[in-house]
Structure 1
């Protein structure tokens, strides 16, 4: 399933930062993956790794950003044109996750190369950089992000716990309950669709005998465990 279109409701990203290393013909390829949600964050990672691995010859990079994967950049950092950043970007762009191929975003990959004295040639470099990113992705942890509709459900203090448990048991994503001075408010996240809202509203009416109804707060991208 390709999630890069205008109707994107879900995509995959990486959890935190992940590192892996390969040695290919005596050259060390250290790949760092990090979740990034802006170009500033991506470039900050690249800059920090330049400082950390200041004695390395190359710090090649690629990143994909946004729910629609609308920002895609790569940099060869001194390697022959098209032999590093482009294959790294392709490895990210075509990665298959639980949501299918081409669903990975908000991720930056930086591959640091320590030259081992043996020239790899253009084809060898393409394979090395692609393999370095793919190998790092193989052992990284992924997170699904989904655009959900947020609802607030008011409830009396005495009924809030029971209502929250029944909503969870029915399969709804309950984000928590806040207890105010006069009443509690249960926060629920729903798929961003009219049928999902109708189902939730009907279930709330049944559970509360029509005494309360949800307030729609808007939509938000939320990490799913």
Structure 2
């Protein structure tokens, strides 16, 4: 077992394990990426052989995140885990990509972003009940987001609508990990996933309390929405 950053104490749903083949470990990329991610987020990553919350693989399923060492590497997030979801968000963000492409070996860029065709949206499907997903979205998400035509006038104008979020190539990953993305952690509880609110820091608003089955239903609902027509391609972080 290789340990890049030691896990200290009980970090609950933040610290996580990462599995990667020897070829990627030996390239030095992870020694470049992971400390920078941990410095930014205070989430520690343990590099392991075997079962892990996140895996980087040279082929198979997963999101294409970078190319190098003779392969296009894909990221697999196994299960719902806050720290792992935060890493997936960071690695595919502008900051994460700049960190990735800045890694050099003997003055030469060692890794690149995946080819454009690897980033194209692929068909996804979800087994949840879309009708139930609409109800859950209206109750839990409609307080801030436009989730359907029915609540178009009742949401907060500064938050993106589900229709706008649906235009993003990684919309499903964003929804799957929403509970780890600010501001949601301060008021969201996912049964058997998130840690209870600290006694001295309760939710500042009526909390969103859902299960993974509820989240599957919401994903099924959003999957059938027609993306907003924004004209030029949307730019987002």
Could you tell me the TM-score, scaled by structure 2's length? 0.27
Bigger Rg over Cα: 1
Could you tell me the TM-score, scaled by structure 1's length? 0.28
Q: More strand by proportion, 1 or 2?
A: 1
Structure with the greater relative contact order (CA < 8 A, sep ≥ 6): 1 or 2? 1
